[in-house]
Structure 1
Amino acid sequence: MEENFLFGFWKGRRFDRRNDASGALPDGFPLEEAREFNRGNPLTSIISSAGFLIFSGAEALPLVLFAYYDNVRRMSCGRCTPCRAGSILICEALKAAVLGRGCTVNWEEVRTLARQMELTSLCGIGASTTAALIGAIDHFLDDLKTTEPLGDPAALAAEKRYASAATAPCIEACPANVNVPRYIDYIRDGRPQLAEGVLLERYPLVGTCGRVCVRPCEKACARRFVEAPVAIKDLKRFAADHAGAPVSHLFAPEASLGLDEKKVAVVGAGPAGITCAYHLLQMGHAVDVFDMEEEAGGMARWGIPAYRLPRRELAGETDVVRALGGHYIFGKKLGRDFSVDSLLRDGYSAVFLGIGCALGQYLNLPDEDPSAEGYLKGLDFLLEIEHSQKNPGGPAPLHGDVVVIGCGNVAMDCCRTARRLLKSGRVIVAYRRIEASAPADPEEIKAARAEGVEFEFLSAPKRIIVEDGRVVGIELVRMYQTEPDASGRRGVKPIAGSEFVIPCSTVIASIGQKMDASVFSPEDGIRLSRWNTIETKADYTTSRKGVFAGGDAAVGAQTLILAMAHGEGAARSIDAYLRSGEPAFFPRKRLSRIIRKADLLGQCRPEKSFPHAERFEVPMLDARGRIEETPWKEVEFGMTDSDGWKESKRCMRCYRLIGVTTRDPIPGAEPTGEDTLPL
């Protein structure tokens, strides 16, 4: 794309190849990304907090800038005068230029206005969006001083040749691209219902996610450079807890009217399947959701213990499928009661596979006996406990020491559940790496410790000791970290002669999960990857026409938030397939790739000082109470109104806005140019 780059201002430098094709090229922007935005449709410009770049085929500079700053105007929250008034005045100046009156604009005053926005705005919308305009005034003023009309100022957006995204580190880190600062804004304004509404644009399991999300957004939060990340997950729960009604009650019966005759079968009532059904029903498609269990929720229902996720909370959100006119068909298992092929032959126009990874794994140690009493797979252990909760006597107690192998989130659920069932003995977690390398949420490790769980890090299993058909111990070996390899990652190796034995009556293997591939037959035509997952394309299509897949079944055991993001994306692909037969295109996904490759966020360190404000600490039941007195009661308390308001004020609203124009219309783009489709 080098030959098509014309001019621009990028990261503080001016570039102009219009009269000299051998001129310098912009650093820090991968020009190959401009070759195609979507198939056969090149970029003609890009504008961001780094500046702007213009490629061949672009509209005149004032028109491109107007499309961007009109978005700035609409995105301005209006709380501070510099951005509220400044964005309007900038748009008026650019509109005058588009209409051929650029010579009448006092561009020096516009520059002063933009500079004031940059220095004094209270959030990133005003503070980070002025670089392109200032660069254009400083270096390409003649392009702004127009004397001929350039066209309709709103044409680029109306023709769907302009797409933009308001983003921030937290938004890009979230697999669902939830607009985190926006829902935090609503909480700060005392409007939790609207905060929940922002989340409901993406998925229905708001309170569920607010309790069990692994918080990738918080790891990216720029507030960590001040003192600590904003408690984003807890604010999400606050929105759900204070919205006033369960999600399923927010949809009136008339919402289920007008479903079309093209029915979609969703297989799996977990987070991916429920979210897919939720969006398809709102798009007007009839949906049946199949699940082998008797209740909805998938692994959120059967794999996450009630002390982390109350069943009533989950049920109030999974019922949204019925509220929207969909149907659950429980007790039916793929591969036993029906097949992918039979669903398509029985009249379903499309199928979504959200079957998850429900098979645990043994340790596969030398001479191990999977049938030994007391040797369990982590998921099987959790599923058995959940099913036994319905029995009159509840789950059976455990006696003797319990050793959990692994240190992921499932391992934490296993060890904390075992601790609640233990009548005598200890619960010990053994993990072959150091604690900092553990995939579990650090808060879960902290909670497990508070409940009395012990940890043996840098310890790997070597042999399960079995006598008379039952587990009596496990042999482990101490490990040490090797020097970092080329990627910077440290390996681990055993220390010769460091073997030791932990006598125990139960060993729980929690080293990962996999999909049950036996549910497919050759007639289904579903191709699997070498990782034993369903092979999918970027639009969630599979090798069988009309069949889509997402969540753990497509990418391996991951997270609830990623599964829900896949559910929404698959729903949009299915909708495109049912309406036109054409593959779906996701402008937001494409913009995220540009943001990442061009490093348009970087570390997003705050450029001005913020007063120190302590992060909200989640109050919990005391450790003794949660183990001995009410073991299945929810451990964490939510935020009070005061807590929510104080924590919401810690958000620095560090938005960045990216906008692109293209030669041809962009499939899936909004007429306003602002696109919010998920990954």
Structure 2
Amino acid sequence: MPRRSIATRGGGVQNLPGRAELVRLDPSPCRRACPVGINVKAYVGLIAAGRPELAAAVIRERNPLPAACGRICSAPCERDCLRGRDGRPVAVRALKWFAVEVERERRTCAAPPAPPAARLPGRVAVVGGGPAGLTAAHDLAAAGVAVTLFDASERLGGLLAHGVPAFRLPREALDNDVAAILALGVETRLGASVDVATAPRLLEQGFAAVVLATGAAAAAGPVRTAGPHGLEAWSADALVRQWAAGERIVPGARLLVVAEPGGLTLGVAAARLARRAGAQNVTLCAPLPLSDWPIDDEQLAGLARDGVQLRPAAVPGPGERTAGALRVPLDGSGGVLELDALVVARPRWPELPAEAPFARAPLGTLAVHPVTLETSVPGVFAAGELSAGPRGVIEAMAAGRRAARSVLRRLAGEPRAGDDSRAGLVPESVPERGVRLTTRGGDRWRPVAEPPPGAARLDPVDPALTEPQAVAEARRCLMCGPCEECRRCTPTCEFVLAIDAAGRTPEVVRLPRARLADPAPDAADGLPSLAPRVVEARCVACGLCAEVCPWNIPRIAPRRRGAAVAGIDPRFCRSCGLCAGACPAGALEMPGLDAVPDPAAEVRP
């Protein structure tokens, strides 16, 4: 059977002059999972190579708010990471924060691009300065559109600035990202509240389109609220906002933070802030078991460091106030707590005025076109939580990007198109030489969970990866796919990264055989195979390669003399390197990774 070209496995082929082929690659699982299409594998590889500044540049190509995503992103890329099959995915979010922090500390962030000289006709109004609104303003301004950004607050960022504690997201890092967006020529009108009901009037004021991105918490509620069983309680949302504004209100020394369904993330922030503000005893309870809490290891470690007690699968029962203390039983965990105050964390939800001239979705949010995000009012688009309900920061950014692209099509007079929120410009090539990435073992990085010495304070930032930890964590990446997408193209690499005209799918150029060293002798099409080579003298026939291969390619078969050995059919191998990284005997060699290593670029422990 003739050897099948990699082109036929990649998903599409276009002939180029000479003997080159343009081959579309399936994106890696992490990149495919990212709502904004960040080239995760590229920046993880650059961190492993000891080049975090270049990694930060790769992140910024697709993400205008890398600091926020490095801290509080829901990390869908980690959920799809092949390393996660054993519960230990690569800590992608922590690596992103490491790269952004190194860039900031070393002051190597590239100067923001100048506003486009050629402006497109028409002005666009973006209402709301949160993640969705900032992303929409960034993409529109970068495309040459005049953008006016309205926000009711005097500080841009939305909940990133007013609802996320500074120890989770340092304000300086957020301000740097916002400044880079404004440098594109975005006009701001801070302190200008635009009601959703009156937003369509902006079209009458000369704006060609309006993007609504006011979020799920358009206004802060009262500090005091009704708690469970009629007990008076404090609002976690209002307290977090006041703490973010510098008002260190402490409701009492003994607090119980009750996280209602959908409010656990807010409850975690309120519990940690209360502990850091001076509360001596803080307990966080939620009706879900701990395994179902929608928080990750970093947040759990933060709760442990701040000394917050956890009561999972527990809800407060009817309480009573005696002698100045509030006695509240906890149903499900047993025991009675003596408290000074209750704090209730409820889910945020967009509040739409009844007179707003928009169609509503069944859950009460704005009804929008599923692709373009245009509302029932032509020319008005809704992005983020206003139309989708509570979402994470990366999902809000993806919605802002989709709305911006729909506005661009409207300004250009183009018809509606499919979702291309991951599309982008051709990235610049990163000047980097080959680095061996054969050390892909080790356990996942775990954040420190021990409480710090002394009293907790509001200002200490959550710990992050050190440089040795970041390099070790990045080298756990399996570099899935036939190309590493790392842009460290070398004479031994068969591929040169490119992007198709629409920017939707990674593509590579397959070079002529004359440009390659030592092609495999069994290459029927005149080009070398990228499948791992089996060194039979080392193979112990353990079968681990067959176990880790997602495509079930390796086979263990006896040789002529009876001894078993692994075999890999190059016609079907995806050349992802999983088997080579897992082989305990080093019997699988990946062409191009180790053939001509560069000692100067190799990262050493």
TM (norm. structure 1) is 0.62
The aligned residue for residue 472 of structure 1 is 326
The aligned residue for residue 381 of structure 1 is 239
TM-superposition CA deviations, 1:313-357 (whole Å, max 9, x none): 110111123210002211122229x82122111111111111111
The aligned residue for residue 266 of structure 2 is 410
Match of 2:63 among 175, 200, 203: 203
Residue 146 of structure 2 aligns with an amino acid whose one-letter code is: A
Residue 464 of structure 2 aligns with an amino acid whose one-letter code is: F
CA–CA distance in structure 2, aligned partners of residues 539 and 511 of structure 1? 31
Aligned residue for 1:167, secondary structure, equals coil
Cα 1:438–1:673, aligned 2, differ >3 Å: closer, same or farther? closer
The question of 1:189 aligning with 2:49 is answered yes
The aligned residue for residue 129 of structure 2 is 269
TM-superposition CA deviations, 1:615-641 (whole Å, max 9, x none): 23346895235x43x43121213432x
Note if contact 1:183-1:196 (Cα within 8 Å) is conserved in structure 2: yes
The aligned residue for residue 526 of structure 1 is 358
Note if contact 1:351-1:547 (Cα within 8 Å) is conserved in structure 2: yes
Q: After the TM superposition, which residues 71-82 of structure 1 pair with which residues of structure 2 at under 5 Å, given as runs?
A: none
Q: Aligned residue pairs: how many?
A: 467
Note if contact 2:128-2:151 (Cα within 8 Å) is conserved in structure 1: yes
Residue 338 of structure 2 aligns with an amino acid whose one-letter code is: P
TM-superposition CA deviations, 1:90-132 (whole Å, max 9, x none): xxxxxxxxxxxxxxxxx83x45xx6xxxxxxxxxxxxxx5774
Q: After the TM superposition, which residues 278-297 of structure 1 pair with which residues of structure 2 at under 5 Å, given as runs?
A: 278-297=138-157
Note if contact 1:265-1:287 (Cα within 8 Å) is conserved in structure 2: yes
Q: After the TM superposition, which residues 361-510 of structure 1 pair with which residues of structure 2 at under 5 Å, given as runs?
A: 368=230, 372=232, 375-387=233-245, 389=246, 394-406=247-259, 408-424=264-280, 426-463=281-318, 465=320, 472-478=326-332, 501-510=336-345
Match of 1:546 among 362, 379, 384: 379
Note if contact 1:251-1:323 (Cα within 8 Å) is conserved in structure 2: no
Residue 355 of structure 1 aligns with an amino acid whose one-letter code is: T
The aligned residue for residue 636 of structure 1 is 463
Match of 1:343 among 183, 202, 217: 202
CA–CA distance in structure 2, aligned partners of residues 614 and 289 of structure 1? 45
Cα 1:272–1:531, aligned 2, differ >3 Å: closer, same or farther? same
What's the offset of the Cα at 1:204?
Answer: 1.1
Note if contact 1:268-1:353 (Cα within 8 Å) is conserved in structure 2: yes
Aligned residue for 2:55, secondary structure, equals helix
The aligned residue for residue 527 of structure 2 is none
CA–CA distance in structure 1, aligned partners of residues 503 and 68 of structure 2? 32
The aligned residue for residue 214 of structure 2 is 355
CA–CA distance in structure 2, aligned partners of residues 645 and 248 of structure 1? 19
Q: After the TM superposition, which residues 253-264 of structure 1 pair with which residues of structure 2 at under 5 Å, given as runs?
A: 254-264=114-124
Aligned residue for 2:93, secondary structure, equals helix
Note if contact 2:130-2:157 (Cα within 8 Å) is conserved in structure 1: yes
What's the offset of the Cα at 1:262?
Answer: 1.1
TM (norm. structure 2) is 0.69
The question of 1:535 aligning with 2:364 is answered no
Note if contact 2:50-2:471 (Cα within 8 Å) is conserved in structure 1: yes
CA–CA distance in structure 1, aligned partners of residues 173 and 309 of structure 2? 31
Note if contact 2:103-2:109 (Cα within 8 Å) is conserved in structure 1: no
The question of 1:675 aligning with 2:505 is answered yes
The question of 1:241 aligning with 2:101 is answered yes
What's the offset of the Cα at 1:547?
Answer: 1.0
Cα 1:315–1:477, aligned 2, differ >3 Å: closer, same or farther? same
What's the offset of the Cα at 1:154?
Answer: 5.6
CA–CA distance in structure 1, aligned partners of residues 107 and 351 of structure 2? 31
Note if contact 1:165-1:674 (Cα within 8 Å) is conserved in structure 2: no
What's the offset of the Cα at 1:289?
Answer: 1.0
CA–CA distance in structure 2, aligned partners of residues 471 and 275 of structure 1? 48
The aligned residue for residue 350 of structure 2 is 515
Aligned residue for 1:548, secondary structure, equals strand
Note if contact 2:225-2:234 (Cα within 8 Å) is conserved in structure 1: no
The question of 1:653 aligning with 2:483 is answered no
Note if contact 1:248-1:320 (Cα within 8 Å) is conserved in structure 2: no
Of the structure 1 ranges 255-264 and 323-332, higher mean CA displacement relative to structure 2 is found in 255-264
The question of 1:215 aligning with 2:49 is answered no
Cα 1:360–1:513, aligned 2, differ >3 Å: closer, same or farther? farther
CA–CA distance in structure 2, aligned partners of residues 324 and 292 of structure 1? 21
Cα 1:132–1:432, aligned 2, differ >3 Å: closer, same or farther? same
The aligned residue for residue 308 of structure 1 is 168
Query: Where does the alignment leave 5 or more consecutive residues of structure 2 unmatched?
Result: 424-437, 484-498, 507-605
CA–CA distance in structure 1, aligned partners of residues 131 and 107 of structure 2? 15
Query: Where does the alignment leave 5 or more consecutive residues of structure 1 unmatched?
Result: 1-106, 115-128, 137-150, 156-161, 480-497, 591-608, 658-668
Alpha-carbon RMSD: 3.6
CA–CA distance in structure 2, aligned partners of residues 322 and 445 of structure 1? 35
Cα 1:574–1:611, aligned 2, differ >3 Å: closer, same or farther? closer
TM-superposition CA deviations, 1:396-448 (whole Å, max 9, x none): 33423111112722111111001112344x11111112100112224312321
Cα 1:423–1:184, aligned 2, differ >3 Å: closer, same or farther? closer
Note if contact 1:170-1:218 (Cα within 8 Å) is conserved in structure 2: yes
Match of 2:453 among 621, 624, 627: 624
Aligned residue for 1:517, secondary structure, equals coil
CA–CA distance in structure 2, aligned partners of residues 410 and 562 of structure 1? 18
What's the offset of the Cα at 1:652?
Answer: 0.5
The aligned residue for residue 591 of structure 2 is none
Note if contact 1:321-1:327 (Cα within 8 Å) is conserved in structure 2: no
What's the offset of the Cα at 1:649?
Answer: 1.5
CA–CA distance in structure 2, aligned partners of residues 357 and 471 of structure 1? 35
Cα 1:187–1:152, aligned 2, differ >3 Å: closer, same or farther? closer
CA–CA distance in structure 1, aligned partners of residues 198 and 109 of structure 2? 33
Residue 418 of structure 1 aligns with an amino acid whose one-letter code is: A
What's the offset of the Cα at 1:225?
Answer: 3.9
Note if contact 2:35-2:422 (Cα within 8 Å) is conserved in structure 1: no
What's the offset of the Cα at 1:177?
Answer: 2.8
What's the offset of the Cα at 1:460?
Answer: 1.8
Aligned residue for 2:239, secondary structure, equals helix
Of the structure 1 ranges 263-272 and 226-235, higher mean CA displacement relative to structure 2 is found in 226-235
CA–CA distance in structure 2, aligned partners of residues 549 and 248 of structure 1? 35
